[in-house]
A = this chain, B = another copy of it.
Amino acid sequence: MQSSDTKDEVVFQTPWFQVSSKKWPGVEHPYYAISAPDFVAIVAVNAEGHLLLVRQFRHVAGRMTLELPAGHVEIGETPEQAARKELAEETGHEADTFELLTVLAPSTARFTNRLWCFYAGHARSGANAQIEAGMQPVIYTQGLRALLDEEDFITSGSCAALFAALVRGKMSL
């Protein structure tokens, strides 16, 4: 997706992301692009039609959040494998089918990575569920209108994946 006439230079690096300056011909100032692994968000619903969420402390935001299960695609993993792993680690649930709803850009102004949004219906408690430390799974019974009013439900990527699930007819308001 990158034009061959840009000139990129890594200017800052952490274990989780790196910043590159991108110079475009005819544009005076460089653009700064943040590279990070792709990630996944999973709209998972159990047999009763209730949404699976996770409550966790987010150190960067300095607060608790209530989000869809989500996480990075590790090297050597497909996005679907990452989605299965994250659903299990964050909610203790599994599902037969993970359907790709859409692939988005978390931030077209800053990031170059992608957000893969999956739908997993008829999710059920896994036989050997080992929930990751710090993750508090939530089976949310109150529907999407109440969810948007939850103080801790603030994650843009969760809303984006739920938009795709609504548009694809996987959920209703």
A-to-B contact residues, CB < 8 Å:
1-3, 6, 11-12, 14-17, 19, 22, 24, 27, 29, 31-34, 36, 58-63, 65, 67, 102-112, 115, 144-145, 148, 154-157, 159-164, 166-168, 173
- A108 surroundings in chain B (CB, below 8 A): 58, 60-61, 65, 67, 154-155
Minimum C-beta distance from A77 to chain B (A): 18
| A17, A33, A104, A159 pick with most chain B CB within 10 angstroms | A159
| A14, A105, A106, A108 pick with most chain B CB within 10 angstroms | A108
Minimum C-beta distance from A91 to chain B (A): 17
Contact across chains for B14 and A104 when beta carbons are under 8 A apart: no
Given A31-B60, A61-B1, A61-B112, residue A145 in contact with residue B167 (CB < 8 A): yes
Contact across chains for B105 and A154 when beta carbons are under 8 A apart: yes
Minimum C-beta distance from A155 to chain B (A): 5
CA distance A24 to B67 in the complex (A): 22
Minimum C-beta distance from A167 to chain B (A): 5
Other-chain contact of A27, B6, B59, B60, B173 (Cβ < 8 Å): B59
Contact across chains for B36 and A60 when beta carbons are under 8 A apart: no
Contact across chains for B1 and A17 when beta carbons are under 8 A apart: no
Minimum C-beta distance from A43 to chain B (A): 11
